[in-house]
Amino acid sequence: MPLKKSWIDSANDPAHPFPLNNLPYGVFSIGENEPRCGVAIGDMILDMAAAEETGLIALADYPLFDVPFWNDLMAEGPTVWAALRDRLTDLLADGADGQEAVEQLLVPMADATLHMPFMVSEYTDFYAGKHHATNIGTMFRGAENALPPNWLHIPIGYNGRASSVYVSGTDIRRPWGQLKGPNDDKPRFAPCARFDLELEMGAIVGTDSTGPITVQEADDNIFGYVLLNDWSARDIQAWEYQPLGPFQAKATATTISPWIVTKPALEPFRTDTPAREVELLDHLKDCGPMLYDIELEVTLAPEGKSETTIARTNYKEMYYSSAQQLAHHTTAGSPMYVGDLLGSGTISGPGKTERGSLIELSWGGKEPVTLDSGETRSFLEDNDTLTLRGAARGDGYTIGFGDCTGKLLPALDDPYKR
């Protein structure tokens, strides 16, 4: 599919992340004004509340954009999702009628503050990248036992904290936790010393379900995608995870990019999951190309220094798709809700520079990563800024998500001081 031309010139730049082919959804504010829903087009944002108030957008007999989140639109279902995309394309395409009316509703992205684009109902994170799982397993159990016996049969996951999902640009504070090293006689309570990132994609559920659903139904229920950084306290995790898995090690924060890239924008980039080493059971089998060709990168910037790209990989390296994760999530009857967020799991490729976490890049701290500044990192240091970026590249256009950025602040001197 080639570039769809817009009358907004910046949207026609082949390198710009927000062409007419994209039209991602976010929430913005200008100055002291209240946050509002907006659609990114080039270097501008279309004010959706104003578009609805003026009648340029009319999807229901009641307002959908009088709130600062996209959940109400999601709850209307795929038919309304498609109607909105068609209407936005009509309004913003080159040669569209009524350009003057639309121009009055555009605000410069440079003037906007971006907020959480949706209310997160519940959050589940998966461990569904084979290269990542193999690397981690090899470090801790040896190559012959790298993958757990169930890994090739089901997408493994854990229930995370919706309350600590934050939008890009939110500072993250190094957590305290209970730690116990291999040579320690007893655990101690101290700041995390091995804080890490995990490069992931997040899938947003747009349709409720009340029982088991198929992989195809799950794919239909996904509204869109964001970049996701699953901040991870490795030393807290090492002590707590036996026998039930991650808990406080993953509760500090999860950062997402500010724009929801909807599934139609990504359709031209669908690609197959990797070849299966073990045949999946029928309820998890692929029903077509289930992944997307999305180039991903991670940069790290120490305070006052320029950023260094420390990893590049691609979403197509995942072993299980978000649709398979969602379908698996429903098998026991668990309802899924509009606004549920599913983390893909760390996305790593086969090469050393394609690893989506520092624990992999530094091989558990044994091979520190050298930055352009000459500094090295085994794990994150205070005041480091991490940025995730993603792009799907089409014929003369780019589908982007906006940066997914967070700065790590030092731990509190005393977390219980009041």
Catalogue the active-site residues.
132
Output the CA–CA distances (angstroms, integers) from residue 36 to 26, 69, 352, in the order listed.
8, 8, 42
Query: Cα–Cα distance between 396 and 1 in angstroms, integer?
Result: 9
CA-CA-CA-CA dihedral for 302, 307, 312, 318, to nearest 10: 50
Query: Cα–Cα distance between 194 and 384 in angstroms, integer?
Result: 13
Please provide residue 252's backbone torsions phi and psi, each rounded to the nearest 5 degrees: -60, -55
CA 263 to chain centre: 14
Query: Cα–Cα distance between 64 and 36 in angstroms, integer?
Result: 11
Query: Cα–Cα distance between 315 and 290 in angstroms, integer?
Result: 11
Q: In the sheet that 44-47 helps form, which strands lie side by side, from edge to edge?
A: 106-108, 44-47, 36-41, 25-30, 112-115
CB burial string 76-115: b at 16+ within 10 A, e below:
bbeeebeebeeebbebbeeeeeeeeebeebbbebeebebb
Query: Cα–Cα distance between 229 and 239 in angstroms, integer?
Result: 22
Query: Cα–Cα distance between 177 and 169 in angstroms, integer?
Result: 24
Q: Which distant-in-sequence residues (6+ apart) come within 8 Å of 84 by Cβ?
A: 57, 59, 73
